[in-house]
Chains A and B, each alone.
Chain A
Amino acid sequence: DSGVTQTPKHLITATGQRVTLRCSPRSGDLSVYWYQQSLDQGLQFLIQYYNGEERAKGNILERFSAQQFPDLHSELNLSSLELGDSALYFCASSEFRSYTGELFFGEGSRLTVL
Chain B
Amino acid sequence: KNQVEQSPQSLIILEGKNCTLQCNYTVSPFSNLRWYKQDTGRGPVSLTIMTFSENTKSNGRYTATLDADTKQSSLHITASQLSDSASYICVVSAVYSGGGADGLTFGKGTHLIIQP
Contact = CB atoms under 8 A, between A and B. Distances in A.
Given A2-B43, A56-B101, A110-B41, A98 B96 contact: yes
Contacts of B44: 43, 90, 105
B102 A45 contact: yes
A108 B45 contact: no
B106 A43 contact: yes
B42 A42 contact: no
Contact of B109 (A42, A48, A88, A110): A42
A104 B44 CA distance: 8
A2 to B, nearest CB: 7
A103 B35 CA distance: 11
Interface centre among B34, B41, B102, B104, by most chain A C-beta atoms within 10 angstroms, is: B102
A48 B102 CA distance: 8
A56 B103 contact: yes
Contacts of B45: 2, 105
Interface in A92-114: 92, 97-100, 102-108, 110
Contact of B104 (A2, A99, A110): A99
A57 B31 CA distance: 20
Nearest to A46: B102
Contacts of A103: 34, 46, 104
A8 to B, nearest CB: 14
A108 B100 contact: no
Contacts of A100: 31-32, 93, 96
B56 to A, nearest CB: 19
Interface string B27-64: 00001101010000111111001000000000000000
B102 A58 contact: yes
Interface in B83-98: 89, 93-94, 96
B76 interface: no
Nearest to A44: B106
Interface of B: 31-32, 34, 36, 41-46, 49, 89, 93-94, 96, 99-104, 106-109
13 contacts: A2-B43, A42-B89, A42-B107, A42-B108, A44-B106, A56-B102, A56-B103, A57-B102, A99-B96, A103-B34, A105-B45, A107-B43, A108-B42
